[in-house]
Structure 1
Amino acid sequence: MNINELVKEAHQMAIDKGWYEEPRTFGEIIALVHSELSEALEDFRAGRRINEIYYEGDKPCGIPIELADVVIRIFDTCGYYGIDLEEAIEEKMAYNAKRPKRHGGKKL
């Protein structure tokens, strides 16, 4: 599957699971993406290994799973708003390739 096929699948799954029965704002959607990043951070703070996948019952958990949730939510967002994510990634990576080393002078 290419990126845009995954976008379409993630968004359709969100629709099928009832996540769009009520309108959502862009702010709400972005907050949900952020919440998945926060869950990854909480696993790290709890001492979980970065590449560890563990289970609570049959539910997969861990930093890799939370990062997958971030990507899935971003895919869903792009599907909802009709964003061609594959094109955007290709354009941004091409731009980044032309930037100087450690551009911007920031420490992080």
Structure 2
Amino acid sequence: MKNNKQTIIDLVNAAHGNAVAKGWWTEERTLPELVALIHSEASEALEDLRNGYEPTDVWYERKDALTGQIKTMALQPFDDWKPCGIPSELADIVIRVFDLVGRYKLTEGFSSNLDNYFVKDTDRVISSEDSLSINMGWLHSVISFILLGKSVAQDAAHVVYCTYKIAEFNGIELDAAIVEKMAYNTTRPIRHGGKKL
């Protein structure tokens, strides 16, 4: 994904298209709400780390339709089992950014800015010398700039770039996690979350 502008555009369109199809946009969402939800994905990744999971640990969960209990599997047996773990949460960050970018029709500026970040491949925020927990803290500050900065497209691209760098520094195949999570999201029912936001 990193160096392919058309792939970025396709992923933005797919993520936003799925969110629309699943009923997420039947009511209007504000930019602060969307940014808060991106923060929540970063917090879930940090929570997995605090719970003792390694950065590359992946497992799959499914709610039993009869009992309501969550079943967990180490290997994915079916397409409708939810991927879990830090890779999946990092993928969710990127997918939520893609949806935001698609909703606000920022795809061109976002993809150009993202390409620039990967070409320069330098960042003063995320460091290979810092721990995952420190880098996740810095990622929260980068996410906030979507609201506080001058360009939503540029700041959204910075979030995705930093998420990729965190994945790279921790041996996570983020492209694969994004593809897997987006495929799972297409299996979910309409208005599946049942939450207010």
Could you say which TM-score interval applies, normalised by the shorter chain? 0.7 to 0.9
Name the residue aligned to 1:87: 112
Deviation at 1:56, TM superposition (A): 1.8
Name the residue aligned to 2:32: 27
Q: State how far apart, in whole Å, the 2-side matches of 1:92 and 1:51 are.
A: 24
What secondary structure sits across from 1:14 in the alignment?
helix
The aligned runs of 1:7-18 (5 Å cut-off) are 7-18=12-23
Residue 10 (structure 2) pairs with residue 5 (structure 1): yes
Distance 1:94 1:60, change over 3 A: closer
Identity of aligned residues (%): 45
Offset from partner CA, 1:54-103 (integer Å, 9 cap, x none): 12232210000001111100110100111122111123445665x8xx69
Structure 2 alignment gaps of length 5 or more: 1-5, 63-80, 135-197
Letter in 1 for 2:101: C
What secondary structure sits across from 1:2 in the alignment?
helix
Q: State how far apart, in whole Å, the 2-side matches of 1:51 and 1:93 are.
A: 23
Q: State how far apart, in whole Å, the 2-side matches of 1:93 and 1:65 are.
A: 22
- The size of the alignment, in residue pairs, is 102
Letter in 2 for 1:64: P
TM-score normalized by the length of structure 2: 0.47
Q: State how far apart, in whole Å, the 1-side matches of 2:112 and 2:58 are.
A: 31
**Of the two structures, which has the highest relative contact order with CA contacts closer than 8 Å and spacing of 6 or more?**
1
TM-score normalized by the length of structure 1: 0.83
Q: Pick from 67, 70, 73 the counterpart of residue 93 of structure 2.
A: 70
